Amino acid sequence: GQQLNQSPQSMFIQEGEDVSMNCTSSSIFNTWLWYKQEPGEGPVLLIALYKAGELTSNGRLTAQFGITRKDSFLNISASIPSDVGIYFCAGRMDKLSFGAGTTVTVRA
């Protein structure tokens, strides 16, 4: 499948911080999706993006579909402890391809 490069691999958040993660690909996609996975559960869809340049929000989450159709970013504003988990980007042409994930943990 297509290779998606997701960064950073991990990050530590402090409550109230804004955090950002992104995903790049050598292939173009016609849909970008962002998921969150918590221990013992399957991924849960956070945001879906369908058009190049599209900027979409879901509460404190904002994601954008890159103009080149080869990248996307996800921002989380004003972090709270329950934001911890693994965030995955996924791009779709005919099939869905996932990045390796960004692990978000709380800074002690």
> Do the beta carbons of residue 102 and residue 6 sit within 8 Å?
yes
> Do the beta carbons of residue 2 and residue 93 sit within 8 Å?
yes
Pick one of 7, 20, 28, 31: the residue that binds other proteins (CB under 8 A). 31
Pick one of 4, 13, 74, 76: the residue that binds other proteins (CB under 8 A). 4
> Do the beta carbons of residue 22 and residue 71 sit within 8 Å?
yes
Pick one of 7, 28, 98, 106: the residue that binds other proteins (CB under 8 A). 98
Distance (Å, whole) CA 103 – CA 5 = 14
- With contacts defined by CB under 8 A, name the span among 12-20, 37-45, 54-62, 76-84 that binds other proteins: 37-45
Please identify which residue in the block is written with the tokens 């879901």. 58
Query: Counting contacts by CB under 8 A, is residue 73 touching other proteins?
Result: no
Length of the chain: 108
Query: Counting contacts by CB under 8 A, is residue 45 touching other proteins?
Result: yes
Q: Least CB distance from residue 15 to other proteins, whole Å? A: 26
**Beta bridge partners of residue 25, listed in sequence order:** 4
Q: Which residues bind other proteins (CB under 8 A)?
A: 1, 4, 6, 31, 33, 40-45, 48, 50, 88, 90, 92, 94-101
